[in-house]
Amino acid sequence: QKEVEQDPGPLSVPEGAIVSLNCTYSNSAFQYFMWYRQYSRKGPELLMYTYSSGNKEDGRFTAQVDKSSKYISLFIRDSQPSDSATYLCAMWPSGTYKYIFGTGTRLKVLA
């Protein structure tokens, strides 16, 4: 079983839709959670960073962490064609060097 599971998609939505991207994990030692956006042929760039259960909002993006269910989500409101990219979740268990990445969900927002 992988430490982090992420649906690879692709996920196609119309412009303006609310998008929900999810990751589940199995290791309760994960303390910090990140979402990265990766455009085609580019490096991942950080979108959201959180370490506690609950919601964190930044503009059209909301990151949600449920440690009891070992589940994290990224919501994108009013999605735009420019949001079309692959979204990677990442987690860090305290006390180690290794970050665990999901395989990424490919999102396409149709104009």
41 near other proteins, rule: CB under 8 A: yes
Q: How far is the CB of 61 from other proteins (least distance, A)?
A: 15
Q: How far is the CB of 82 from other proteins (least distance, A)?
A: 18
Q: How far is the CB of 62 from other proteins (least distance, A)?
A: 18
Rounded to an integer, what distance in angstroms lies between the CA atom of residue 26 and that of residue 69? Answer: 9
44 near other proteins, rule: CB under 8 A: yes
Quick one: three-class SS letters along the chain?
Answer: CCCEEECCCCEEEECCCCEEEEEEECCCCEEEEEEEEECCCCCCEEEEEECCCEEEEECCEEEEEECCCCEEEEEECCCCHHHCEEEEEEEEECCCCCCEECCCEEEEEEC
97 near other proteins, rule: CB under 8 A: yes
**Exactly one of 31, 53, 55, 80 binds other proteins (CB under 8 A); which one?**
31
Residues 46-75 that bind other proteins (CB under 8 A): 46, 49, 51
How long, in residues, is the chain?
111
Binding site for other proteins (CB under 8 A): 8, 31-32, 34, 36, 41-46, 49, 51, 88, 90, 92, 94, 96-99, 101-104
